[in-house]
Amino acid sequence: MNSFKAKAKAQHNIDTHDPITVTYRHILTTNITNKHPLRVVALVDSDAFYAACEMVRLGVDRETPLVVMQWSSFIAVNYPARKYGISRFGKDLVSVEEARKRCPELRVVHVATYKEGQAEPGYFDKPDPLTHKVSLDYYRRESKKIHQLIADSVPAGTSERASIDEAFIDFTRAVLDVMLERWPHLSKPPQDDMDSALPTPPPINWDGLGHLIPSNDGVEDPEAFDHETTWHDVALSIAAELMDNIRKEIDSRFGYTTSAGLAKNKFLAKLCASYKKPNSQSILRNTAIVGYLQPLPFQKIRFLGGKLGQAISEEFEAATVGDLLSIGLGELQSKFGDNAIWVYELMRGIDRSEVKERPDQTKSMLASKNLPKPITRPGEGQHWIRVLAAELALRLREARAETPGLWPKSIVLHARKGYESSRSRQAPFPFVQDATVDVIAAAGDKLWKELVGVSWTDKTKVSSLQLSFTGIATQETGQQNIEGFFGSRKRKRTEEEDVEKALDDAHDVGFSEFTCERCSKNIKIPWGGKEEEMQAQAIRVEHEDFHFAMDLAKSADMATAAPSKRPDSRSKTTAASSKPQGKGIEKFFKRR
DNA sequence: TCTTCTGTGCTCACCAC
DNA sequence: GTGGTGAGC
Ligand SMILES: Nc1ncnc2c1ncn2[C@H]1C[C@H](O)[C@@H](COP(=O)(O)OP(=O)(O)OP(=O)(O)O)O1
């Protein structure tokens, strides 16, 4: 209930979010900043996104409980399934079997995987992590469709892709447009005085606009809960209408339900989006901000979950945002340096960060594989690099189909040995007509040798590999020539041959053969069942090992001859000397 | 569902050199 | 530009 009262308002200035006088200038300005008094930001989040994607793909009913698995863990659990106590993090419920026992009608879907380095991913009931590689491509594509629809539904440049299933929208511009359309007199300031205050705002009917987070700000008098309507509330209600329309459109067009939060800035929008889920939206009026924040344990807030939050909590014996409100800025600064202002403001719901449009295309593309059974032979590495290359080839091809000029600047290979942190090597990725598996794998192999070649021993175990493209952008001039990039290669392959070969890799029947990149030799491999596949793989790995050994001999010579690259320049610039312990509090920005 | 937590597979931002 | 880290979904 929100009665429209004409009582004189008592301005309390302690509350930063108090109504400030909104003028005609505010309504008519074309320059909307993050300080605009009617600023409204929304955060939209798809409900149980991967699970929703699979429900759409399989055409299952909305009420069907469904989980998405990645190996043996739940990566997404839809809301019907959550009712059975199945959760992503459940410690009392870990196995699919248990989940099925609790919920017999549960649909269980494993994410798509590449089997044995095939050219395209497929769905398997119980893929083997030793031989398969996860593909998240479908979710990225669905995400893109949703973001495109959002971007097309709001003024240009007012939406931001925040993650695979989240987007921010700055509704301020759109809201002002609606206001002027709905109340034309707002464009005519009395006596042409742009700085005169707007008339009293109209009453608002919040019905159907979402969940209003209560304005319970700790005041005892129930009358005090009933705050007067402000122009910012009007702005929120209009944004809520717009948001609701967009959410309905996402649902009817693509079948995805979403939840949204609406508030005066990004931080608060994100925070209130989770107030009520799923398929719902929540509204945080300025009068409700303090009340909503106060009981919140601040260590749940972004960036405060780690050491900084822990340090603050110990220093001030505080747990909630409310506990911290009594700490002055000076005191906070004396203990926590530059971050103090940012923390101080956040605790008060202040966040000036802008909603900024991000290019649709990501700047990097990563294909990675954790190796449950670490590899002990370099040839196995080449096998997995080929698998990763196949995925990158497909994804780059997709991206280029949409944006033809796209090309990555560099290719990077990361490898983790045992429990050490991972090491990487990168190289330019010169333009070729078509990014085939072969071209990418060859570049990856080269990096693989640089990375582990000279240092490979009997005891070397590589437990993780990541191959990625970085600096993906539409191509500018230059670097059209690949001649000499793969020095050892004699024969120049045509694009058609490359495509053909990539397809062969996946689809040949009976007895197959592969052409070795290095020696151009055609090597026969069995094809057919699981058994044959394993044999084929063994042959491939064997052959790769052979080349690797040859290279090793070569590069070992080179290493002793020219130690310019990488011998032990490491040992000098490590730990003690290199890190100035982070300036100020930056060292606290490490989780856990 | 609702004491945010796992490990895996991502993307991005930032830092030192 | 290269290589490493941290943060979040
Ligand atoms: N740590 C992770 N590793 C891999 N994938 C993740 C991880 N966290 C989240 N995802 C994926 C699966 C999720 O469906 C998708 C969106 O994440 P998120 O928004 O946090 O949860 P959700 O969409 O599954 O549920 P909710 O409805 O609560 O938002 O991203």
A60-70 per-residue burial string, b: 16 or more CB within 10 A, e: under 16: eeeeebbbbbb
pLDDT band with cut points at 50, 70 and 90 for residue A93: low
Q: How far apart are the CA of A354 and the centre of ligand 1, in A?
A: 24
Residue range A529-541, pLDDT digits in tens: 444 444 445 545 5
The ligand 1 atom nearest the CA atom of A136 = 5
pLDDT tens, residue by residue, A436-491: 999 999 999 999 999 988 788 888 899 999 999 999 999 764 343 333 333 333 23
Look at ligand 1, atom 5, and give the residue with the nearest C-alpha: A75
Cβ of A55 less than 6 Å from ligand 1: no
Minimum mean pLDDT range among A50-64, A83-97, A282-296, A492-506 = A492-506
Query: Which nucleotides of strand B lie under 7 Å from a protein CB?
Result: 1-2, 4-13, 16-17
Q: CA-to-C1' distance for A49 and B10, Å? A: 15
pLDDT at A573 over 70: no
Three-state secondary structure string covering A444-491: HHHHHHHHHHCCCCCCCCEEEEEEEEECCEECCCCCCCCCCCCCCCCC
Mind giving me the DSSP string for A24-59?
HHHHH-S---TT-TT--EEEEEETTHHHHHHHHHHT
Q: Is A45 in the pocket of ligand 1 (CB under 6 A)?
A: yes
Model pLDDT, residue A92: 60
Q: What is the pLDDT of residues A135-161, one digit of tens each?
A: 999 999 999 999 999 999 999 999 999
Which nucleotide is closest to the Cα of A471 by its C1'? C1
**Rounded to the nearest whole angstrom, what is the distance from the C-alpha of residue A560 to the centroid of ligand 1?**
49
Q: What pLDDT shows up at residue A459? A: 84
Cα distance between residue A198 and residue A21, in whole Å:
8
Q: What's the confidence (pLDDT) of residue A298?
A: 85
- What share of chain A in percent tops pLDDT 90? 58
* Cβ atoms of A238 and A39 closer than 8 Å: no
Question: What distance in angstroms lies between residue A242's CA and the mean position of ligand 1's atoms?
Answer: 25
Question: Does the beta carbon of A393 lie inside 6 Å of ligand 1?
Answer: no
Q: Is the CB of A337 under 7 A from strand B?
A: no
What DSSP line would sit under A257-278, residue for residue?
-EEEEEESSHHHHHHHHTSS-S
- Please give the pLDDT value at position A537: 55
Domain A364-476+491-508: state its class.
alpha beta
Q: Beta strands A211-212 and A280-283: pairing type?
A: parallel
Alpha carbons A177 and A199: distance in angstroms, whole number: 18
Out of A360-364, A407-411, A486-490, least confident range = A486-490
pLDDT at A43 over 50: yes
CB A76 less than 6 A from any atom of ligand 1: yes
Nearest nucleotide (CA of A409 to C1'): C1
What integer pLDDT is reported at residue A400 of this predicted model?
94
- Average pLDDT estimate for A547-564: 33
CATH topology of domain A8-297+351-358: Alpha-Beta Plaits (3.30.70)
In whole angstroms, give the CA distance from residue A566 to residue A559.
9
Quickly give A92 CA vs B6 C1' distance in Å: 12
What average pLDDT does chain A have? 79
Q: How large is the ipTM?
A: 0.96
Start-to-end CA distance of chain A, whole Å, equals: 44
Question: Domain residues of chain A, as ranges?
Answer: 8-297+351-358, 364-476+491-508, 515-588
Instruction: Report the SS3 class of residue A109.
Output: strand
Amino acid at A236: L
Tell me which H or E stretch contains A76.
strand A73-77
Ligand 1 close to Cβ of residue A178 (< 6 A): no
Residue nearest to atom 22 of ligand 1 (CA): A48
pLDDT at A302: 78
**Contact (CB, 8 A) for A460 and A376:** yes
Q: What is the pLDDT of residue A226?
A: 56
Look up residue A405 and give its DSSP letter. Answer: T
| Per-residue pLDDT tens digits for A297-310 | 888 887 787 677 77
Calculate the angstrom distance between C1' of B16 and CA of A587: 15
Mean pLDDT, to the nearest integer, of A323-346? 86
Q: Is the pLDDT of residue A543 over 70?
A: no
